[in-house]
Structure 1
């Protein structure tokens, strides 16, 4: 499955549920090459299943309110990505406390240019 979908699912906590569902539907429809009508999907159901098994989710109906045919393997990957903790959640669970005071950074003493490490 396209990595953009996984990235969007990972960031889903920052958007509303309605917006997430609509955006995800549109993204999957774009990735699948558009959505299929019910009659189209019924007539070519073997092809729909084959494409879904190959990692290309198939949208049946409109992109915003359609049904998605997806392989079990891709569903498992999506669920795994969705439950991975974010960096912020990991820091909080480790007991990270942000430094609330001002941080003073001294000026460099020499005018030597910075060099790239090789």
Structure 2
């Protein structure tokens, strides 16, 4: 699967449906090298399927209502790319809201004993 398609899917996940369809359609046509007529696709079906299995999507019909032929492996890759989320999207999904108040000043901590290394520890008394 061409990385341009995966990039388009990842970037347009949050876009409106129309924007997503238009952007993905343009990218698919660009990667495929143009569209095929139904007659041309029918006459060369084995070639269409062969190119689809090689990872080159085949676009049949007009770009507004085109059909796309891709391999199952590429479909799985596309679906996986569509479900990945960014860190920001994951935070939004759990309802995270950043703190918008004044600056938080944290005072100096208390002085404490330094931690001892395991080798410096005193053995427990025996008795």
Is the pair's TM-score, using the shorter chain for normalization, greater than 0.5? yes
Q: CA deviation at 1:2?
A: 1.2
Q: Confirm or deny: 8 A CA contact 1:26 1:64 kept in the other structure.
A: no
TM-score, normalised relative to structure 1: 0.77
Who is 2:67 aligned against?
67
The answer to whether the 8 A contact 2:13-2:82 is kept is no
- Please state whether the residue corresponding to 1:85 is helix, strand or coil: coil
Give 5+ residue unaligned stretches, structure 2: 105-127
In the alignment, structure 1 segments of 5+ residues that lack a partner are 105-118
Q: Number of paired residues?
A: 104
Post-superposition offset of 1:97: 4.1
The CA RMSD over aligned residues, in Å, is 2.0
Determine which structure has more spread, i.e. the larger CA radius of gyration.
Answer: 2
Calculate the TM-score normalised by the size of structure 2. Answer: 0.72
Tell me which moved more, 58-67 or 14-23.
14-23
Describe how 1:1-118 pairs up with structure 2 within 5 A: 1-92=1-92, 96-101=96-101
